[in-house]
A and B are shown apart, each in its own frame.
Chain A
Amino acid sequence: MIYADKSAGIIVAGATGRQGGFHIALMNEYAKTVGGAGVVAGVTPGKGGQVASGVPVYNSIREAMADIDAEVSVIFVPAAAAGDSIMESANAGLSLAVTITEHIPVHDTMNAIAFAKLHDCAVIGPNGPGLLSPGEIKLGIMPSHLFSRGNIGVISRSGTLTYEIVDELTKAGLGQSTVVGIGGDPVVGQTFSDVLRRFEEDPQTKAVVLIGEVGGALEEEGARSTDLPIAAYIAGISAPPEKRMGHAGAIIEGGEGDARSKIERLRKMEVPVASRPSEIPGIIKKIL
């Protein structure tokens, strides 16, 4: 398990929105089954004093921290204010800001990540499903019933494709240590190499599945940075150039970041790459 254990109190920013309220309930349901601290406060400016899914709402993270103990935030606030919410989390002393929000302007993300770094706050996302460590903690929106506890780490730029692959792993008897959705934007806080560094220090994790897609070269950078056994899948082999494939970051630009050359570079590093998601459990069993 990496980033946070069950004892970490969670603050949900954007608690009074539909998404925020819904997922507070699901995160707390999960916390109950594993005996975790769960969501201890919600934050929405101007809505202090309200209650969201049974959790007290404060006007600011700082105000909440005066009353309760929290270490991490999960951010659901709308795109225009989400960068601000990341900075507020860091400034209040939280160690992790998990950002679910999609469509944040990339300059806002870059500024917020740089600010968070100054305060030693790690940012996961934006535009991702968060993370889940089975039996420990759920931070975000991943559907927990597909997960099982074990020693496989998963890092992914995607949401539902991650669930697909986690489901395959679980069915094959391969439980997970932590599953991290790093987000589908071109610029994200924790990249493959950052998460891999955490997995290296985690005694529970024995092998890692890396789920990438077209755009950029962060998958290769990650694979190069680690000694852990990894299996990879890269989505977008049929993606045309210069077209954004759903994720802001999933675009082949200036002839760079296409799936074929990514896969080729990974294979050169002797990383086995699955040509279909269903091949991943077989590859993992081989490299364990």
Chain B
Amino acid sequence: MKFLEHEAKSVFSETGIQVPRGFLIHSADELAGYLEQLPPEFVLKAQVDVGGRGKAGGILMADRKNGIENAKALFGKSIKGVAVKEILAEERLEIQHEYYASIAVDRSTKEALLLFTEEGGVDIEILARENPSAIRRASLPLLMTEIPPFMLRDLLGGAPREVGKVLQSLYTAFCRKDAILAEINPLVATPAGLFAADAKLIVDDNALRRQGISCNRDMTDREREAERHGFSYVELEGNIGVIGNGAGLTMATLDLISFFKGKAANFLDVGGGADQERVMHAVRLVAGVPSVKVIIVNLLGGITRCDEVARGIIAAGISQEVFVRLAGTNEEEGRSLLSERGYRMVGSMEEAVRDAVEAVR
């Protein structure tokens, strides 16, 4: 789950990283109470989780005169489709230099990947393309409780040693918070020391519970409802509903739909042990999406009981046509249950997809 800037900053400051003095406001009027505590010139930053927030108009300069007016304008905006509900009003920093520092989970080495560059403040992907040698990297096994001195020296190059302390703190935050990404860009050198001017933190979804986070904000309501049933669900833009067991098989079903020039409305993986109850909930959930015209059910498994699945589909009692591909035990019984009620059961997933695409054409 992605943390918002102000949340990431409060996590980082707990490990000793300095962050600009700032206040989180939920309305423009709220700013009035903080004007005295902010310096005469400050910055208003929309707390929305979108890339390129600054360029999209999510960051406004402000002072005591125009602050409330600007905040009002920013609250009325939506940044790349996301409504502004919170603003971080923050002191402006006197920038002497900008660095970039990040720590991420690296799939290839299975270790923490540390990146540091003395040319911060720019888009790191662009820098990686245009001047890759400016980015220094190191790989650290998570079994290590801190970054060893040699590795810090390698990373820092000519940067002052204080920057090393920030990297060390960032690593502490990364480990403590089960992060898959912890990033400071820019890390700003000012006469008053180093500050995290922006902060990014993504926490592992599988660790939310032990991090005390009960609700994954990255999900839509329907995705959360699906999760309560133990399904993985992703909303898409087409009109063919898809239910499968296993992420790979369900993805392959979506891909076949686009191969046959159709458009999937969703991805729903019912997971293991698809029984009557689960299948019924899955079918109802997908059928409840207004754009869904037909539904493909593609279940394959040694231990999936086809008669149970068939009963689940029938119990869902939905109006859309359902194309069913089932392989597992009690296949014959499932087949006859479905055909008695006029459902279509097909032999392969390709057949199911082709027929479904044909039906909505």
Contacts and interface: CB of A to CB of B under 8 A. Distances in A.
Given A110-B110, A186-B107, A248-B205, A237 B267 contact: no
B248 A158 contact: yes
B356 interface: no
B346 to A, nearest CB: 14
Given A106-B105, A245-B267, A164 B259 contact: no
Interface stretch (A47-55, A62-70, A111-119, A199-207): A111-119
B302 A146 contact: yes
A23 B236 CA distance: 35
Interface in B211-235: 232, 234
A247 B247 contact: yes
Nearest to A187: B110
Interface of B, helix, strand, loop or mixed by DSSP: mixed
A164 B249 contact: yes
B246 A246 contact: yes
A157 B107 CA distance: 13
B245 A160 contact: yes
B142 A111 contact: yes
A238 B254 CA distance: 6
B107 A184 contact: no
Contacts, number: 156
A76 B269 CA distance: 20
B144 to A, nearest CB: 9
Contacts of A239: 251, 254, 267
Interface string A222-252: 0000000000010111111001111111100
Contacts of B107: 186-187, 215-218, 249
A92 B217 CA distance: 41
B125 A164 contact: no
Interface size class of B (residues with CB under 8 A): 35 or more
Contacts of A109: 110
A272 interface: no
A107 B300 contact: no
Contact of B248 (A162, A244, A275): A162
A79 interface: yes
B246 to A, nearest CB: 3
A278 interface: yes
Nearest to A185: B206
Nearest to A158: B248
B248 A161 contact: yes
A268 interface: no
B117 interface: no
B302 A145 contact: yes
B236 A240 contact: yes
Contacts of B120: none
Contacts of A197: none
A213 B207 CA distance: 23
B248 A237 contact: no
Contacts of A259: 255
Interface string B315-357: 0000000000001000000000000000000001110000000
B250 A246 contact: yes
Contact of A235 (B143, B232, B248): B248
B251 A235 contact: yes
A247 B252 CA distance: 13
A160 B255 contact: no
Chain B CB count within 10 A is highest, among A146, A160, A184, A213, for A160
B63 interface: no
A107 B204 contact: yes
Given A106-B180, A186-B107, 10 more contacts: A109-B110, A115-B143, A143-B301, A221-B108, A233-B252, A244-B205, A244-B232, A245-B250, A248-B205, A278-B348
10 contacts: A107-B178, A113-B110, A143-B302, A145-B302, A160-B244, A160-B246, A236-B251, A238-B264, A276-B256, A278-B348
